Each structure stands twice: as structure tokens, then as C-alpha cells.
A and B are shown apart, each in its own frame.
Chain A
Amino acid sequence: DGGITQSPKYLFRKEGQNVTLSCEQNLNHDAMYWYRQDPGQGLRLIYYSQIVNDFQKGDIAEGYSVSREKKESFPLTVTSAQKNPTAFYLCASSRTGGTSGRPSTDTQYFGPGTRLTVL
């Protein structure tokens, strides 16, 4: 089966701790994305990666970090600097990475999400 997986489904963290959310895809997509979803709001882009070993900040990157060492993996670390980390986090991928410095406009396919709660 091809698709995007995120783990874990639910994650609890104590205040002041860093935590890493996993996102893996076997679709051979070049581009991957992280979004945050808060209740009653749309998706906000945190980081995106157009190609391996490269990533760009999205609209709300502060307090987050990412890496893209492998094409199929794009982990997101929520650091203690993120003031309000409790949210639903969605990972997505798209076939191509877009033009230089700009996200792709290809259709994005989403993982099932990780719900992070800070205690």
C-alpha cells in the first residue's frame, strides 16, 4: 500500500520538553509539508521541503524544527520554545517540489495526523 503515515496518533508532552513527530511516505514524492490545525481554524503551514536535504519555513515556523535527510521521511520537532504547542499536526506530500524557493502547487496528500497535547 502506498501512502503517508504519521506516528504516534496521540502524543502527550510535559511543558518544557521537546518532542518529535514522525512522517513517512512511500509515494516517491519529492515534496513534504507540515501543517498545524487548531479547532475551528484552517491549516497553517509550519515547514515544507521541496527536495531532500532542503527545507523552508512556512507561516508559523517559530518554535519548530525539521530535517529532511531521506526522501521518504520528514520529522517535525516541537521545541520548548513553541508557546502553544497543543494542536493537531498534519503531514502532507506532493509529487514535485515546485520552483526554486516556492512551494509546489501539485495536489497534496495527507497523513492521518498526530494530536499533541501539552500537559
Chain B
Amino acid sequence: GEDVEQSLFLSVREGDSSVINCTYTDSSSTYLYWYKQEPGAGLQLLTYIFSNMDMKQDQRLTVLLNKKDKHLSLRIADTQTGDSAIYFCAESSAVKFYFGSGTKLNVKP
């Protein structure tokens, strides 16, 4: 089946950049997404990228897609304590919507 993998934890200092990585296996993916989940809450769509793009920037967020390596990353510039959350990578293809297990970002003051 299709897999979406992420590392479980990332810790950064406030003001630094954070880079959260994700790998996926389904080469027919059409869209790739990043969602943010704060404690006890639902998922908030942060950004998404179409599979024929290799980069998308939205304010402090930069998404990079390497389709050849099936690697997706989310860079958060000037990370703030309010960015502390779990970040989920997800892919959609002709078949289904798949989520990674989430990366818990801890931002230290």
C-alpha cells in the first residue's frame, strides 16, 4: 500500500528555521499537503502543492517537492513558539488520501 513517512520529532530554537521532511511512495500523487494540528484540536490546512510544481512559498512557509525522490519538505522561517504543533504530510492520488504519522515540532524560547 501507499506509505507516507515522517520523522516523529523536531526541536528548534525560537527564531531559527524549521525543516520538516516527508517521503511518500505513490508516484501518481496529484496533490501533497501540509496540515498543522495543535493539542486537542482538528487539523488545519497550512498549504499544498500540485505535483507538477517543485516549490511553493506562502509567507513564512516554503514547500519543496522533489518528485524524482518522492520527497516533500516544509520550511518554516523565523519559527515562533506558536508554531509548536504536530505537522502532518498528506498525499492524494487517484485512489486515496494518505497521511503521515506526524512530526511533533517543539519550539524552545
Range for the number of chain A residues in contact with chain B = 20 to 34
User: What are the residues of chain A within 8 A of B41 when measuring CB–CB?
Assistant: 112-113
In the complex, the answer to whether A42 meets B102 with C-beta atoms within 8 Å is: yes
Contact with A along B48-70 (1 / 0, CB 8 A): 10000000000000000000000
Range for the number of chain B residues in contact with chain A = 20 to 34
User: What are the residues of chain A within 8 A of B4 when measuring CB–CB?
Assistant: 42
- Would you mind naming 28 contact pairs between A and B with Cβ atoms under 8 Å apart? A4-B42, A6-B42, A40-B8, A40-B101, A40-B102, A42-B4, A42-B88, A42-B99, A42-B100, A42-B101, A42-B102, A43-B88, A45-B96, A45-B97, A90-B42, A90-B43, A92-B43, A102-B94, A102-B96, A103-B97, A105-B30, A105-B93, A109-B45, A110-B35, A112-B42, A113-B40, A113-B41, A115-B40
Chain B residues with a Cβ under 8 A of chain A: 4, 8, 30-31, 33, 35, 40-45, 48, 88, 92-97, 99-102
